[in-house]
């Protein structure tokens, strides 16, 4: 069976995966963009957005690995856009323009129905209203044996972690403090869920930690 994986998810030294006061102007919250500085300069990131150049090395290796063998994604609604409540229309199609970086089916958790949205490059957004288990079942079917990547945000990751559904995680710990925002692991007992560290490596930009859930 395909794995449900968290990959290249950035957190601060004090455990926040997003800063406070998220908005259209600050989709990752105040200070949240700095969490991802380790990735922005890599050649993998630049290639995703049609740019040349970028750095090689450990950070790029982890960035590239985060897209390997991914057949579908799951996102929380906040990761798709800043709109709350019922959809006023279907004009908003995500933060990423006409060609999002997913290039496979993406399942967006929401309480409000909306027709699927087909984008350039192979990305189709499907909107799931019947919960995290239904989204995972649909994503695994769409992935056709490849892994499903859980993209965020923090609240969505926490739901899947608390339900014991996440198989592995790669966290990029940025060398910054946020002080407030959305805390990833508050109240979550990772050892009790079966997670153990399987790898870690540091660069000047981040400490990369891989956690795997052990089978009982």
- pLDDT computed for residue 108 by the predictor: 98
Domain boundaries, the chain: 4-17+27-82+99-213
Sign of the CA dihedral running 3, 149, 48, 199:
negative
Phi, psi of 99 (to 5 degrees): -125, 80
The DSSP symbol for 14 reads T
Q: Please compute Rg for the chain using Cα positions.
A: 17
CA angle 152, 153, 155 (to 5 degrees): 115
Torsional class of 112: left (φ above 0), alpha (ψ -120 to 50), beta (otherwise)? beta
Q: Using CB atoms within 10 Å of the CB of residue 147, give its burial: 0 to 12 exposed, 13 to 18 middle, 19+ buried.
A: buried
Structurally, at CATH architecture level, domain 4-17+27-82+99-213 sits in 3-Layer(aba) Sandwich (3.40)
Identify each DSSP E strand in 59-206 by its residue range: 70-76, 105-109, 117-118, 124-128, 147-152, 168-173, 182-183, 195-202
Calculate mean pLDDT across residues 174-186: 96
pLDDT at position 120: 95
Dump pLDDT digits (tens) for 83-124.
Answer: 889 999 999 999 889 999 999 999 999 999 999 999 999 999
pTM: 0.94
């Amino acid at each position: 069976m395909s794995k449900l994986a968290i990959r290249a998810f950035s957190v601060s030294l004090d455990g926040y995966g997003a800063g406070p006061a998220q908005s259209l102007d600050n989709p990752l919250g105040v200070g949240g963009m700095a969490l991802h500085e380790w990735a922005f300069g890599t050649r993998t990131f630049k290639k995703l957005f049609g740019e040349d150049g970028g750095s090689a090395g450990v950070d790029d290796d982890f960035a590239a690995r985060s897209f390997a063998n991914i057949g579908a994604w799951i996102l929380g609604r906040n990761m798709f856009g800043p709109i709350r409540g019922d959809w006023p229309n279907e004009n908003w199609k995500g933060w990423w323009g006409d060609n999002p970086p997913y290039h496979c089916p993406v399942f967006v958790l929401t309480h409000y129905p909306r027709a699927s949205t087909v984008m350039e490059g192979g990305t189709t957004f499907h909107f799931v209203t019947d919960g995290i288990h239904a989204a995972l079942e649909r994503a695994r079917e769409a992935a056709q044996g490849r892994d499903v990547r859980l993209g965020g945000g923090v609240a969505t990751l926490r739901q899947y972690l608390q339900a014991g559904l996440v198989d592995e995680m790669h966290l990029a710990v940025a060398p910054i403090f946020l002080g407030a925002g959305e805390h990833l692991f508050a109240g979550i007992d990772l050892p009790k869920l079966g997670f153990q560290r399987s790898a870690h490596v540091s660069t000047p930009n981040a400490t990369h930690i891989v956690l795997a859930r052990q089978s009982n």
